[in-house]
Structure 1
């Protein structure tokens, strides 16, 4: 009831009407007394009616005036109260926004810099203990920086300042860098400075790190003895190092701003060549260049994409391999000549062996007495052994002469030479698609393993190849289900001359694998089959996807 009365009393019309009723009730007795008094004073009824009526109208006008006056008083009071409530709510919202802002905010008096408002982040930034009372001047340290930077002189003229970068020491975080923005505002009726800080310490540190790395890159770039060029995406030369000037015998100003293919040196290697290298995902290419003095040299051009100030450029490094290349060419030529000589010599030896074998067989038919017959048999067997050894040298004459390459064991096992040995044998290959970095004669290794299984396994019907991780290394396992190897023979099977036939098969398998540091051991059991483990070092095997194989 009380709340309804208060609401009714504060409502402009109801409140004013209430005052008018009360005022009328107070004035009614006086009006009645005036009417009685008028009856004794005025005898004439017309005059009496006129007097009382006039008095009633005056009283009514007074009551109406009172009603209107009170009505507008209450109306204005309510408007003022509503405006004050909005101001208080807005002030509270602003206070909450300032207090919970993720960056430091300080409001200070314009004249003496005393603190009016300081949010949590500002307390953390400027005060050693954020719970301290802030009814004091801002840190003298901060004020000295403001004065040193002439900030106080700049603000009155501009009224606002944005992105004003300053640094200062704090007790909690050491030296920090901030971007300061300030406005002159009216705060509760007096001039004040609203100051907001954005911590840019991390950005400054990052910029300095970028600058340090650029300086480091610049130092490396100019100190590297190999020729280095930086190219734009259009192929223009933007920068060269001193090694480039010395190597080509040209001055920097004669090279800068020119396109790569404008230099006679790179007449056959231009921006299109670089683009092609990027598209094929190659990072280097071997080529022959011609120096300004007419000298031709073998080089490897290494291509790298680098970012300078967020712009992609091409770094071209030239590695001179002329001497190495010419030595390799000379060795290759010598090997070719030796190969030809070996072929001719081998052919001549085989011809002589054929003569020995033919005449030996004729003598064997003519002679039937011992020990001559036995001697001729020994001669024929020796001739056969020589023939086998000579044939073996033909197969392995290229051992170690060629660069190792990436090879897939599963693909090698599908080749016709090995497949021809497996007519009655089931072959099980690894599920993983892995390439091994080995001598090109890896095919011969696998061929000989299969050949040994066929020749000596006696009852082999299954051959299985599989991979197994061994720490950082990879083990390629070869197994069959033949008769296996006697335990007493295992330590000698890789020894030169041990075994049937020539005794060179497993020995040469070990030698071929050792060219790329691959080791081979045997762990099978007698009557269950052989198990050869080839341990491939880390870095010399890789998993290849089907997509990558399709692209290659």
Structure 2
């Protein structure tokens, strides 16, 4: 039926229009019709604008739908693809229309198909959104990783539809894999370092140590985690550490040596390279330190220092002894030149030979210098040491009594032999009317006394205060 005929038919059937026009003049009726015509034209313009807005909105929706960064698929409950956007089609490497009416399952990798079946079953039997990750196959056979989010939707006609959003996470997976491998290499490096690694938080609580760090202190790594840094040091170390941590809080990185307390109670020397951990807001979050055990090196340095001290002392003593003996040789030589008595000449020559033997013995003792710094302190038998020291002196008529028990041992440095030699030489040189030198031992409570005494004139009171001064 033509549009005009349909309108006239409706007009005839309409009582409202007939009543509205009853009693009106033709001019009034024409005016009403003209107003009504204008209203219709305005309505028509509004309808055209609304129609255009709808088309624009539809176009925007289509653009958003088709060119969204994720693929959108609408599936039947049998997982047949009924709708797909351009992004989804591009992900699978296919033209969109060729994907329609195909089963989505065919694009799931063979190994992931059972997982997909379980995923779809869960969606169809639950109202909540489900998420899963799958390996898919493109048309060209290349695989890629995708994260799929799906939900069941019931349409107006009662049919069930599955809507899914698919994101390509291949690059993310690759980055995650690279990150895991990097972390694995980093952890392997940290765990196999010959240097300890120690991490604390802002409250100085241990959050990480590598196996080497735990080994240095005699713990396992698990035993150290959660413990305060201060529990691994003595009181003096805690005071020093408090000052060091304040510098970490100020962002100061530094290298320093430190003493730590091991689990067995012994102390170790360590060299630290400490660095503060500062977050992006500039807030102190803790510190990390590389720790090297330098205990052996420190003891070696101390031993070297002590050896140098001993060598300087022995050199001074030996030089002093040899110079004294050389003076004696010169004196005997002068006396021999001045006498014409054959008996005295023989005596002077004999004493000169004796003094020369003493010089030789003194020089022979210097061979033991080679052991200083190599041979450390140890248990020494005193009786044979004194007997050996006696060979370096010329006692003349003086009797030396060694009354030390032959089995007596003390913990001492090998240099102690020179101590006994010096004691005897000083007694002989300064004792004047001395006849006897005696070595003996005595125990007093828990103390062992080694005694050297003689029957000479002794030491004056004013000299006793100076006797242990260097160079006296």
TM-score, normalised with respect to structure 2: 0.47
TM-score, normalised with respect to structure 1: 0.41
